[in-house]
Structure formats: structure tokens, C-alpha cells
Structure 1
Amino acid sequence: MIVDYNGIGSNLLRKRKFRAAAFLFAVAAYSFTFLLMNPVDFPLKIPCVLYEVTGLYCPGCGGNRGAYYILHGDILKGLKNNLLLLLFIPGFVFASINEIMLLFSGKQFAYPDFNHRVFYILVGIILLYWVLRNLPFEWFSFLRP
């Protein structure tokens, strides 16, 4: 379903387009940074506090390295660093295309209506991934970065 923002007030449309532009700028800056620089060689290293303190991997550990490899075409190596990227990258691609449509045409596809069940399923997947990647069994070693 297409949502047409052209009929709403110009002030509301301007705010909506500003949010779209801010989102696209953040996605572009993140992508451009990792197109140019490997996170392993990044001069400002921000360590994962959970990993530094406990030695456990959080659900985001390996996400930047994974995004770097995916942006450079090595999808399997990217997913090896963080398998959750398989869940979230399609959403970011859809949202980016949708926001570009809004900026240029004032129209976009309606975002899916996520109810509580979908939210709890996503949280459950993230928590399960978090637990499984830290279990000391060889079966789950493919989940570690």
C-alpha cells in the first residue's frame, strides 16, 4: 500500500522529510565509513563493555566487521561475524528505499504494522542468539565472531 504525504500540511511534510533525510544521512555515513575503512584498522576502537568485563559476546559483537565484509561483497564472511545481520540488513534496505521515495515523490510504501507479538519474537530471537553464541559447545561456534 502506498502512503501519499503530499496532501498533508507542508509543515508536517517538511518534518517528515527532515527525518527521512537524517535517517538516510546516518545510513550513508555508516556505509561510506565501512566502504573506506576496515573496522579492525579503525583508529578509534570502542570496545564492547560486556565482552571486556565478562568475556561474553553481546548480540552486536562482530556487527561492524560483518557490515564491512557485506559491503565489500563477502556475504558469508559478514554473516560469520554476526548472523543477526541477516535479520536486520533487509529491513534497513527497505527503510532506505522507502525514505528515498518519500524525499523525491512525497509517497512511500506503508511500513508493516508490528504488533506486540512480532516485537516479542524479535526480542526472543536476539536473546536466543545471545545465549547460544556464548555456550561453550562446538555446535554453536559458528555464531561467534
Structure 2
Amino acid sequence: MTQRPALPLTDSSVGRGRRLLWPAVSAVGATGFVLVAHLVDPNQPGNYPTCPWLALTGTFCPGCGTLRATHALSEGHVLEALQRNPLTVAAFTLMVLGFVRWTRRQWRGEQRMTAAPAWLLYGLFWAIMAFWILRNVPGWTWLSPS
């Protein structure tokens, strides 16, 4: 008796529900993060630990203020979120757009997305570095997560 070779599992042969598993897991994880940031107010002292970078150096890292910005966004206060960390608001916007694109491609069974072009990754890196430096420049308090 000969055994038939297994057919390769392609995106078109996998059911739609199975293709949407990882977008669903990602959505649940993101929702959990936002829910915790909403319910446990980061503006109240003692609810979360201090940023290790801030504690060690006394300067703000690019992520300082992210929890407070997330909390503000979860309450619909976009301007307050921008005051806490404008990079977080921009990153969340790009992540939501990327998530929608990814989910749509998974729904349709299209091939996986390729990695971002190198110029985009380098540009993102340098934008984060510039933000990190500028938010610690004396007098540029509008970038600090106050």
C-alpha cells in the first residue's frame, strides 16, 4: 500500500477562521493592555513602577509617558495623550492601520507581507533617537511627559 504525499499547506487551503487566529490573539492582547491602563490609573503614584531609565539617569526615554498616554486615549482625551507622549499616539495610529491591513490580508488569504524597506526602518530608528534627544533638551518641556 502506497502512502499519498501530504499536500503543502498554503494560505488558500487554510480556513478563514484559522487564518484569523493570530490577528484575534493580537487584538485580545492589545485590548488587555488598554483595559489595564484604563482601569489602573498610571497618574496615581504607586500603581506602576518608575521607568528604569528615568530612575537611573533622570532623563526621559522615548517610552516615558506611554502608560499615561494610553490611559488618556482610553478615555478619549487625545490632546492629553499627545502631551504625555506624542510618539505613542503616532505609533498607536500606525499600529492600528497595520493591524487592519494585516487582518484584511489574512481574511483574503493573501500572501504574507514582506518586511518593511530598509529606508523606512532606518528612518523610524532616527526619528525615535531624535525624539529621545529633543524631549530632554532644556526648554523643550512640550515633549516631556509632564
TM-score bracket, normalised by the shorter chain, equals 0.7 to 0.9
Q: Does 1:129 align with 2:134?
A: no
1:50–1:57 CA contact under 8 A, matched in 2 = yes
Q: How many residue pairs were aligned?
A: 135
Any gaps of 5 or more consecutive residues in structure 1?
none
Q: Which residue, 53, 62, 66 being the options, matches 1:63?
A: 66
Structure exhibiting the larger radius of gyration computed from Cα positions: 2
2:83–2:143 CA contact under 8 A, matched in 1 = yes
1:21–1:99 CA contact under 8 A, matched in 2 = no
2:41–2:47 CA contact under 8 A, matched in 1 = no
Corresponding residue for 1:143?
143
Q: Which residue, 112, 118, 121 being the options, matches 1:116?
A: 118
- 1:87 to 1:108, Cα distance in 2 relative to 1, 3 A: farther
Letter in 1 for 2:120: V
Tell me the alpha carbon deviations over residues 61-95 of structure 1, each in whole angstroms, 9 at most, x when there is no partner.
00110111112111111110101023201122223
Deviation at 1:42, TM superposition (A): 7.4
TM-score (norm 1): 0.77
- 1:27 to 1:116, Cα distance in 2 relative to 1, 3 A: same
Any gaps of 5 or more consecutive residues in structure 2?
1-9
More strand by share: 1
- 1:94 to 1:50, Cα distance in 2 relative to 1, 3 A: same
3-state SS of 2:61 partner: coil
